Each structure stands twice: as C-alpha cells, then as structure tokens.
Chains A and B, each alone.
Chain A
Amino acid sequence: AQSVAQPEDQVNVAEGNPLTVKCTYSVSGNPYLFWYVQYPNRGLQFLLKYITGDNLVKGSYGFEAEFNKSQTSFHLKKPSALVSDSALYFCAVREDDMRFGAGTRLTVKP
C-alpha cells in the first residue's frame, strides 16, 4: 500500500527566506503526489500535484514542488516565504485511495 512521510513536524523560517517542506513517499506503481495546505479550523486547500512530465511542478501562491524519483521525494518549496504562508502542510500520495502524511507546521516569522 502507498504511504508518505513528512519527517519534520515543524519548520521555522524568516520572512523573505526560501522555505522547504519535506515529503518522501512509497508506492508500488506510478506515484500521483499532492500538496495541500490547511489553515486553522479550515478544510484542506489544494496547492499542486505531480502526475507525470516535468519534475518541477508549479502551484498556487508561488509554491512549487520537485519530484525526485531516485530519492522518492516530493519536497515543497517557495523562493521567498511570507508570514501569511504560516499553516499546516500535508503531502499525499494516491494510488487507489489517498494517503496523507502527518503534516508539517510551517511558521514564518517577520
């Protein structure tokens, strides 16, 4: 069965600095990988996904993610963090059903 791991519970960055939120996955077939963001007391908002093609995927709010097949990773990145990016970020992999990681809390400090 598919699974994802988010090795960091918390990531802290200063506003204006680049950010990376890590995700590794395990699937038996072709991976369909997703990133979602969750603000307090809200549902999940879709950011981006990798299905096939270019390993660098661009998504909403300036986020991008790099698919690395050899390292089975799909890290979320942003060149310049904003305070408003502070939220909970979930990586997910979908083979049959969707499996989510435990989440990474991103805090961007002014």
Chain B
Amino acid sequence: DTGVSQDPRHKITKRGQNVTFRCDPISEHNRLYWYRQTLGQGPEFLTYFQNEAQLEKSRLLSDRFSAERPKGSFSTLEIQRTEQGDSAMYLCASNPLGGSQETQYFGPGTRLLVL
C-alpha cells in the first residue's frame, strides 16, 4: 500500500485554460475527498465520493469545477476556465467506509498556479 497519490504535483496554467488533476486513493478505501488549501489557511472541503457516487458538494465548488470517480477507484478534478483565484493546493484524501471516526489519509497535493 503506497498511500494516496496525486498527479501532477505542480501545475502552472494561464487564466482561462482548463486543468485536470488526478487522485489515486489507498486501495479498497471507499470514500474519497477533495479539499482546497490556500496560503495560511486550513484545508476546505470541496466534495466527496462513496465508491463512484458523488454524495456531497460544497458551495465552494462553483460550476467551473467538476469531479468524477467513474469506476470507484481513482478520481479526477477538473477546473474549467481557470481564474487567478483558483490558485491553491488541491488535496485528496481517502478513508475506508465507516463513520466520522474514520481517519482520512491525505495525498501530497497538487499545487496550482494560475497566471
């Protein structure tokens, strides 16, 4: 078990471009979460999946953001028409199916810079 992995680790893009990030959770973890972290702040919840079903989306997730987990394994987060305010660290986490007492394990994050 290699832990949660994310790709790419860094992404620089120009305003208006689309970007896509990938997250591979710990194998057999049913739940997968996406967070956004800006400088000087803690991670903020964006959305989560239980298997392939997207069960909750934060108000932070604007129409330009979309996430998928088509086969219940890896997940992708796409940002369309990026804006400078999208610059942040995007973190992925996973945990086994269970209640709120389950520990979330985080990946290394994808740092996005929108120029």
Contacts and interface: CB of A to CB of B under 8 A. Distances in A.
Bound pair: A and B? yes
Nearest to A100: B42
Contacts, number: 54
Contacts of A98: 33, 43, 45, 104
Interface residues of B, number: 23
A79 B95 CA distance: 30
Counting chain A residues whose Cβ lies within 8 A of the other chain, the interface size class is: 20 to 34
B4 A43 contact: yes
B85 interface: no
Contacts of B28: none
Contacts of A44: 43, 91, 93, 106
Given A36-B106, A41-B111, A43-B106, A103 B42 contact: yes
Interface of A: 32, 34, 36, 41-46, 49, 51, 90, 92, 94-103
